[in-house]
Structure 1
Amino acid sequence: MRMNRTLGVLAASAALSLAAPAFAATNFFTNFDSINFGSGPGFTTRESYEGWTAGRNGLEVQYNNVAGAAFSGANLVELDTSANSSMSRMIDPGTYVLRYWYSNRPGVPASSNGISVLLNESPIFTTPGGNGGASTNWVLQTVNFAVTAPTTLTFSAIGTSDSVGGYLDSISLSAVPEPASWVMMILGFGMLGVALRRQRQAKLRVTYA
């Protein structure tokens, strides 16, 4: 009986370990608020920020409503600094859901507000932008994709390169388990449950014999 329980637990553990690689993919959340730039409104152009590496023209962190309110916290990012720019980071293989909040820059025409999402410099999704109103208007954008090798994920300003453009805030990347991994996990938990149930039954037989 002890051998059967041991084999059941080992089998369950093996099933769970086979599913584990799907969860080794990249997960992150960034809302650009890791630095408090002070109480007054302003902006700063940086070469990197919160795991993102800027393109050749840097990335602009705006803070404290200098040209519109952030979606969350005090800071947001604009990628049209002195000219169109970008920000990138590496991600591991996996199936993903990318979510980010986007706003047109207030008072800026649609021709300057677009932002594109790229994988290894190939566009997969574009927020074309619209005419900016009197204040920021944040809209959630969702992109699903899968990559089979380490990949560069990039946000890039598109449209007129004129030092004003669309805004980004509260970006998250979440790995989605593959269907096969779900099956293995369910199998593993099921086998573990059977092993534990048999163990309890064995204890009851010993107690009341």
Structure 2
Amino acid sequence: MSKKFLIALGLSAASLLAQATPVNLISNGSFESVSLANGSWTTLGSLSGWTIGPQNVEVRHNVAGSAFAGLNFVELDTSRNSWISQTFTTTVGQTYHLSFMWANRPDQLGASSNGISWQVDALNGVVGNNTVTAWTQFEQDFVATSTSTTLRLGASGSSDGMGTSLDAVSITQLPAAARSTVPEPGSLALLAMAAGALFAARRRKA
């Protein structure tokens, strides 16, 4: 088997793997752009990738909970309810998938104090208006109606500085016709062939 053929197989395999991994259209979705010491928190009026409401946003590192992804997570009820938003490029008629993680503080003040409102395209709702303290995933598909779409997330409970935590925000484009992002059988066969050929080539060199 020629070296050129092996290289071509490897490139094809890499391309298929890249296609199988959805790209997050949200920038700084896990709020890792801020460097905080363990056990500390800060309130910010600006945050990379996000537009921030007038009451700012609270970024925490192992304070009143721990991050779901990375080191940081945020709360949108600072001293009063606030919000964050981000606008991203979309294709009209294409389906997208919104996902984020929420959890209520271990030292919460009860269900009426908690909750995160979400809005994307024509859809909206509220999650976390309960007493659940474990990280919980929210997911929602939507069809874009414009070439740019805005995601808005806000605190929806009482303005008392003790709201719901937020982390791991993502929006990904779903494959056409709701196809799975997992490679099709033919693609999997090509990946297996590439892996086998590379393994055989390495054994011959050894």
Supply the AA of the counterpart residue of 1:157: A
Query: 1:53 maps to which residue?
Result: 51
Q: For 2:104 and 2:142, how far apart are their aligned partners in 1?
A: 24
Question: 1: distance between equivalents of 2:113 and 2:102?
Answer: 14
Asked if 1:111 corresponds to 2:112, the answer is: yes
Higher normalized helix content (fraction of residues): 1
Q: Which amino acid aligns with 2:103?
A: S
Shift of 1:26: 3.8
Show the counterpart of 2:73: 76
Once the two structures are superposed, residues 146-198 of structure 1 have per-residue CA deviations (whole angstroms, 9 ceiling, x without a partner) of 2221222100110211111000011111011333999xxx9xxxxxxxxxxxx
Aligned partners of 1:107 and 1:131 also within 8 Å: no
Q: State how far apart, in whole Å, the 2-side matches of 1:76 and 1:181 are.
A: 32
Q: TM-score, normalised by structure 1?
A: 0.65
> Equivalent residue for 2:154?
156
Offset of residue 93 of structure 1: 2.5
Contact 2:128 2:164 in 1 (8 A): no
- Number of positions where the alignment pairs a residue of Structure 1 with one of Structure 2: 156
CA–CA distance in structure 1, aligned partners of residues 24 and 63 of structure 2: 36
Going from structure 1 to structure 2, the CA distance change for 1:91 and 1:107 (only over 3 Å counts) comes to same
Please list every run of 5 or more consecutive structure 1 residues that lacks an aligned counterpart in the other structure.
1-22, 187-209
Partner of 2:202: none
Dislocated runs of 4+, deviation >3 Å: 23-29
Name stretches of at least 5 consecutive residues in structure 2 with no aligned partner. Answer: 1-21, 185-206
Instruction: Give the distance between the partners of 1:128 and 1:69, measured in 2 at CA.
Output: 17
Aligned equivalent of 2:82: 85
Counterpart residue number, 1:198: none
Q: CA RMSD in A?
A: 2.8
Q: Deviations 1:6-45 (Å, cap 9, x if unpaired)?
A: xxxxxxxxxxxxxxxxx99945562112332124x12111
Partner Cα separation in structure 1 for residue 178 and residue 65 of structure 2 = 45
Q: Structure 1: which amino acid aligns with 2:37?
A: G
Please state how far the C-alpha of 1:79 moved relative to its aligned partner. Answer: 0.1
| Equivalent residue runs for 1:57-206 within 5 Å | 57-63=55-61, 65-94=62-91, 95-108=95-108, 109-119=110-120, 124-131=124-131, 136-149=133-146, 150-179=148-177
2:64–2:107 Cα contact (<8 Å) kept: no
2: CA distance between counterparts of 1:147 and 1:117?
Answer: 16
Could you tell me which amino acid in structure 2 is paired with residue 112 of structure 1? S
Query: Sequence identity, in percent?
Result: 37
CA distance in 1, matches of 2:36, 2:24: 32
**Larger Rg: 1 or 2?**
1
Supply the distance in 2 between the matched residues of 1:70 and 1:155 (Cα, whole angstroms).
18
User: How far apart in 1 are the matches of 2:150 and 2:32?
Assistant: 23
